[in-house]
Amino acid sequence: MTLANLSRRRLLGAGLSGALAAAVPAQTPAPAPTKVLRYAFEVAETSLDPARVNDLYSRTLTPHIFEGLYHYDHLARPIKIKPLTAAAMPESSAGFRVWTIKVRPGIYFADDPAFKGKRRELVAQDYVYSFKRFADPANKSPVWSGIETDRLVGLNELRQAALDTRRPFEYDREIEGVRALDRYTLRFTLADPRPRFPENLASGDLFGAVAREVVEFYGDEAEAHPVGTGPFKLVQWRRSSFIVFERNPGFREMFYDAEPAADDAEGQALLARFKGRRLPMVDRVEISIIEEEQPRWLAFVNGEADLEFEMGFQFIPQAMPNGKVAPHLAKRGIKGYRHLEPTVYCAFFNMEDPVVGGYGPANIALRRAIGLAFDSRGEIAYAFNGQGIVAQTPLLPHTLAFDPSYRSEFGDYDPARAKALLDLYGYVDRDADGWREMPDSAPLVLRINTQPDQRSRKIAEVMDRNLRAVGIRNQLVVAQWPENLKAARAGKLQMWTVGSQADAPDSIGALARYDSRQIGGQNMARFRLPAFDALYDQAQAIADGPERAALFDRAQKLALVYMPYKYTLNRISTDMAQPWLIGFRHPVFWTDWWQYVDIDPSAVPKR
């Protein structure tokens, strides 16, 4: 009982009049403490414009602002797609070529000066505009090549007209491929069947609705003023350093609900605890960019961060020895989570490079020899502290065509075979200096791009040791990750080690890395093979079944034969959460999850 209540009871007990009792001022309730989620990225964001991003870190930020038509049930395993801003699941006709969707009325963008004081409702035309932005050459969208393969009728022609005439993109020109039939009805028309098209629409981190007024109001500064219908809004952005989001005060009523499997104890417990809670449950999210593992880990251990999301590998032995939370951390209530991610790490070869590129037998032999020289197990042990499994295929775990029992040369480490291949195709040491030369006697030197962080340095050490063992000289080119990404898309790198993560249950995304029309985007190796393009198109168009499975099998074999990518590992992720972070569950294919967690302010230490 508070002092105010105790005083009031005594006054009433003394028989004072109701008027005198009413004169006692009522106590103003103390404001609820602000719930802040704090954690760090290991790599800087590149943009906050959905049309201009394709990296994991930026795509973790954007879906909390911009909402797509569909999303994934956060607890359902196996995964389940549900309407988000759509009123229902899409209706398909014309053999999976036409998809009709109703947008739910009463959803509004966050308030912004671009709307001139008026509430701005989300309408079907916003999605038409947002899809067209990917095709606008001015945006240089890294995902346009992927969208192009969906063959939205008229969209590529609209883009080509802008390129040919060098005039601004015609956003007001109506096309059949994506159009608003009325205020809330959206229709997509595809040139070819796309049975899994709704999976694309569930990638809210890309296909969130953008308001045209905002882009036109801010012009070149629009990227720094992202305005969407989602649960959070941007309030501070120090690029590549610190990013702050706060609860969108105009966010509609949305409540925690999900459909975990009946035998999913963790999911059922989360549903029982949070069902019916209004989203988001936290008020503020603070993201720091900390590239080195040690300061990230220290921030978590010292209670300055609430989560170590996909934590670095340097401190795994101290944090989760033998897969269990270390006793001294468990005593503090810290929880640990491990799972195999839908990811693959690989080194790509620029197929247009005169040293590692090309399609002739000798060119292929060099890449396959380099692949055989790579010790993936050694890389997993040294650079990832055992947190991974040897990759055997381009296909990613948790996607439909992935077979965990599949084995291939991608998983082989065989320096003897590597040396034999190099010898056979003329990559020999002609001047007895200990290093091999090209078949034409030119120097054989690999230029491998990397980053300055510790894990990248360790990966580079393993690669250097492996290449030296077979007589191949290499030089490291160190740059920041966003710089390497930009150079890779422009075809200016010879080799680079990158990771790739699935954003949908279909395995087709892994094959996009080989589609020649996606050079400059997903296809960093700049691989061109008409037979593979045809295979990719066929796999896009047919329904799941034995015929499609055979296409994926053939794709894996072609990927191995030409080896524009050498796959090394599928990553095992470790997340660690403070006891006051409640409700965390690692997502599978999606990147928006902040709205599903809660913070217990009473348990958070003073910072």
What is the rounded CA–CA span in Å between residue 498 and residue 477?
14
- Rounded to whole angstroms, what are the CA distances from 328 to 321, 334, 577? 12, 9, 14
Q: Are residues 221 and 347 in the same domain?
A: no
Average confidence (pLDDT) over 240-267? 97
414 in a structural domain? yes
Phi-psi region of 29 (alpha: psi -120 to 50; beta: other; left: phi over 0): beta
Pick the closest to residue 583 from 251, 238, 270, 132 (CA basis): 270
117 in a structural domain? yes
Q: Are residues 189 and 63 in the same domain?
A: yes
Out of 168, 198, 225, a domain closes at 225
337 in a structural domain? no
23 in a structural domain? no
Looking at residue 30, what is its pLDDT? Answer: 67
**Count of domains observed in the chain:** 2
Whole-number mean pLDDT of the chain?
A: 93
Residue 288 forms beta bridges with which residues? 40, 242
Average confidence (pLDDT) over 358-373? 98
Looking at residue 483, what is its pLDDT? Answer: 94
SS3 35: coil
In this structure, which amino acid lies at residue 379? E
Both tokens assigned to 245: 């989001």
Give the domain extent around 118. Answer: 45-225
CB 275 within 8 A of CB 93: no
Least confident of 383-387, 435-439, 500-504, 565-569: 500-504
Least confident of 4-13, 123-132, 247-256, 441-450: 4-13
What is the rounded CA–CA span in Å between residue 445 and residue 171?
48
Evaluate the omega torsion of the peptide bond into residue 361 and state whether it is cis, within 30 degrees of 0. no
Out of 225, 260, 282, a domain closes at 225
Q: Are residues 391 and 533 in the same domain?
A: yes
Tens-place pLDDT, residues 501-553 = 888 899 999 999 999 999 988 899 999 999 999 999 999 999 999 999 999 99
What is the rounded CA–CA span in Å between residue 390 and residue 375?
10
Specify the CATH number for the domain of residue 354: 3.10.105.10
pLDDT at 27 over 70: no
Specify the CATH number for the domain of residue 52: 3.90.76.10
Tens-place pLDDT, residues 136-164 = 999 999 889 889 988 999 999 999 999 99
Pick the closest to residue 587 from 505, 489, 516, 473 (CA basis): 505
How many C-beta atoms surround the C-beta of residue 501 within 10 A? 16
596 in a structural domain? no
Q: Are residues 216 and 350 in the same domain?
A: no
Out of 172, 194, 225, a domain closes at 225
Looking at residue 121, what is its pLDDT? Answer: 98
485 in a structural domain? yes
- Rounded to whole angstroms, what are the CA distances from 585 to 74, 338, 339, 369? 8, 11, 11, 41
Count of CA atoms in the C-beta half-sphere (13 A) of 558? 20
315 in a structural domain? no
273 in a structural domain? no
Residue 101 forms beta bridges with which residues? 186
The whole-model pTM stands at: 0.83
Q: Using only C-alpha atoms, what is the Rg of the chain?
A: 27
Q: Are residues 353 and 501 in the same domain?
A: yes
Looking at residue 21, what is its pLDDT? Answer: 39
